[in-house]
């Protein structure tokens, strides 16, 4: 019998109205939103259900919003007896994965990702940094391109998502220079990402130091379910390892393709994206055509997956 991995989305999966159906249909989800409302300096419920796209793009609000919706979906699945064999999350999504694996209390996680977003935003003045997705071209060529054009600036691969999709991050001038030269190495398209800071590069070091202080205040427990970490695409269940990798993750590349390939090589043949939108599902499809991929967010999708899960576990 193949294994099931639950994967949790990161930034760029947010949209206005997310989580409302969960809130209306499941008491366990509603209580989670209320918990977040009580521990944060603003209302997550209001932000998710009624917030403007602009407001939802603010990193310090995006991060707790996506985490709340993702964990709410997970809690509903868990209450129905649906559990994964392992978990992973893309950048911010790693916190949702850790909550699902029993490593962190939701109330701690939602507060720390709010601060994480704030620290990442504050690390670089608006307009100084940038991120771009390069579509097409090989990873090695993109790494070489970054080395060639960066000069005295910071420029690096930030998200290695799937074949033909690598995100670069750093100083705006260096990112623009890389985009201008990208067609020479076979990149078909470059898309500037609508983010408010250059994540997963050395410009995030100040945020990393501040986050370290916050994470050291939190009780992180050993995980009940193995996690594949973004930082090194390796399995872990150790609380100290989890803490260390969450700290390093802030200024290091997200090794998403490596993580998915590692899961597959360890027997995972079913991926379930838990949370808003289907960003990760699209990436996984490009990494492997052999695996089954499901997206679960709405009551309808939860109900449908409940039946699928029974048949998967019967095999």
Cα–Cα distance, 301 to 299 (Å, whole number): 5
Torsion 302-303-306-312 (CA) sign: negative
For every residue of 217-262, DSSP letters joined together read: HS--PPPSS-EE-TTTS-EE--HHHHHHHHHHHTTS-B-HHHHHHH
| 251 among known catalytic residues | no
91 DSSP 8-state letter: T
3-state secondary structure of 26: coil
Looking only at the bridges linking them, the beta strands covering 235-236 and 129-136 are unpaired
Given the residues 91, 96, 169, 251, the one annotated as active site: 91
Residue 242, CB half-sphere, CA atoms under 13 Å: how many? 29
Cα–Cα distance, 156 to 303 (Å, whole number): 42
For residue 219, give both structure tokens. 């009780």
b/e for 64-82, b at 16 or more Cβ within 10 A?
A: bbbbbbbbbbbbbbeeeeb
Given the residues 90, 114, 200, 295, the one annotated as active site: 200
* Cβ atoms of 128 and 169 closer than 8 Å: no
| 295 among known catalytic residues | no
Say which residues have a Cβ less than 8 Å from residue 203's Cβ, sequence separation at least 6.
Answer: 123, 124, 128, 129, 154, 169, 170, 171, 197, 251
* Residues forming the active site: 91, 200
């Amino acid at each position: 019998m193949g294994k099931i991995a639950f994967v949790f989305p990161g930034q760029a999966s947010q949209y206005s109205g997310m989580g409302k159906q969960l809130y209306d249909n499941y008491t366990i989800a509603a209580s989670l939103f209320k918990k977040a409302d009580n521990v944060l300096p603003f209302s997550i419920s209001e932000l998710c259900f009624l917030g403007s796209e602009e407001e939802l793009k603010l990193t310090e609000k995006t991060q707790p919003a996506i985490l709340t919706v993702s964990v709410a979906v997970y809690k509903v699945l868990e209450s129905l007896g649906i559990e994964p064999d392992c978990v992973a999350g893309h950048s911010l999504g790693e916190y949702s994965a850790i909550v699902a694996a029993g490593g962190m209390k939701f109330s701690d996680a939602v507060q720390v990702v709010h601060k994480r977003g704030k620290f990442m935003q504050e690390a670089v003045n608006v307009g100084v940094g940038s991120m771009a997705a390069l579509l097409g071209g090989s990873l090695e060529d993109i790494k070489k391109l970054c080395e060639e054009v960066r000069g005295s600036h910071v420029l690096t691969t930030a998200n290695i998502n799937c074949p033909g999709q690598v995100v670069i991050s750093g100083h705006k001038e260096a990112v623009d220079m890389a985009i201008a030269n990208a067609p020479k190495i076979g990149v078909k398209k470059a898309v500037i990402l609508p983010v408010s800071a250059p994540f997963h590069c050395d410009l995030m070091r100040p945020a990393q130091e501040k986050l370290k202080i916050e994470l050291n205040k939190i009780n992180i427990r050993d995980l009940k379910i193995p996690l594949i970490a973004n930082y090194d695409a390796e399995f872990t269940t150790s609380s100290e390892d989890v803490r260390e990798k969450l700290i390093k993750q802030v200024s290091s590349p997200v090794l998403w393709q490596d993580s998915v390939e590692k899961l597959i090589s360890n027997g995972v043949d079913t991926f379930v994206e838990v949370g808003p939108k289907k960003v990760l599902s699209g990436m996984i499809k490009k990494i492997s055509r052999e695996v089954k991929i499901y997206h679960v967010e709405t009551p309808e999708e939860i109900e449908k997956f409940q039946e699928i899960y029974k048949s998967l576990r019967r095999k």
